[in-house]
């Protein structure tokens, strides 16, 4: 006899823990996860009418927040952001702060270690003999926190661009009349739960 993943929800549940229903739907039911059939046309309409407008609005608001930070930054970030896919500088013009440039200690500005004799950081020589600049440590806890938030915004911006590219690939690849089986994860990612 196959176990029904919804048995624990029979009657009035006293309390449903976070994501229990989502977890139950994702579970394998008789060896097969719950899948829902959608046509290519339905998926493309969802992407064009819900997903892309949402992503473009989020991209614009994230870009404004990044640009606001950079307009008042004392030291500009110079470290490239990790990419799953190569993007042009025009498409993704932002850099990030290194860990050292975000790390805050009361005595970290201009020094290597807190409490180790106030040793000054000097420029180091790389293997090729080129000068490597020292990291510019944040001068306050607030500056450190702002840099952390900035780096998170840059990563969000990168991920939004990747999602827009993925959505456009789907719109250009799916055929209106073909039927596709979507998992619960895919339905949620495509925001079919937001449909009224």
Residue 5 has pLDDT above 70, yes or no: no
**Other CB atoms within 10 A of residue 144 CB:** 19
Tens digits of residue pLDDT in 174-193: 999 999 999 888 888 898 87
Beta-bridge partners for 132: 124
Interval 123-144 mean pLDDT: 67
CB 104 within 8 A of CB 141: yes
Phi, psi of 132 (to 5 degrees): -105, 120
Per-residue pLDDT, 133: 56
* Mean per-residue pLDDT, 164-176: 94
Residues 6+ apart with CB under 8 A from 89: none
How far, in Å, CA of 51 to CA of 46, rounded?
7
pTM for the model: 0.69
């Amino acid at each position: 006899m196959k176990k029904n993943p919804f048995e624990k929800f029979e009657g009035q549940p006293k309390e449903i823990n976070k994501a229990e229903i989502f977890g139950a739907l994702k579970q394998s039911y008789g060896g097969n996860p719950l899948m829902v059939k959608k046509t290519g046309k339905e998926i493309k309409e969802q992407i064009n009418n819900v997903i892309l407008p949402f992503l473009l609005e989020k991209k614009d608001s994230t870009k404004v927040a990044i640009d606001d930070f950079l307009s008042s930054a004392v030291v500009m970030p110079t470290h490239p952001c990790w990419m799953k896919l190569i993007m042009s500088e025009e498409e993704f013009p932002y850099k990030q702060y290194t860990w050292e440039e975000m790390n805050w200690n009361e005595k970290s500005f201009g020094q290597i270690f807190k409490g180790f004799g106030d040793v000054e950081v000097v420029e180091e020589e790389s293997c090729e003999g080129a000068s490597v600049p020292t990291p510019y440590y944040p001068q306050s806890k607030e500056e450190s926190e702002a840099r952390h938030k900035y780096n998170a915004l840059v990563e969000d911006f990168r991920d939004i661009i990747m999602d827009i590219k993925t959505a456009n690939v789907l719109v250009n690849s799916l055929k209106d009349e073909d039927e596709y089986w979507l998992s619960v994860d895919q339905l949620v990612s495509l925001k079919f739960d937001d449909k009224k």
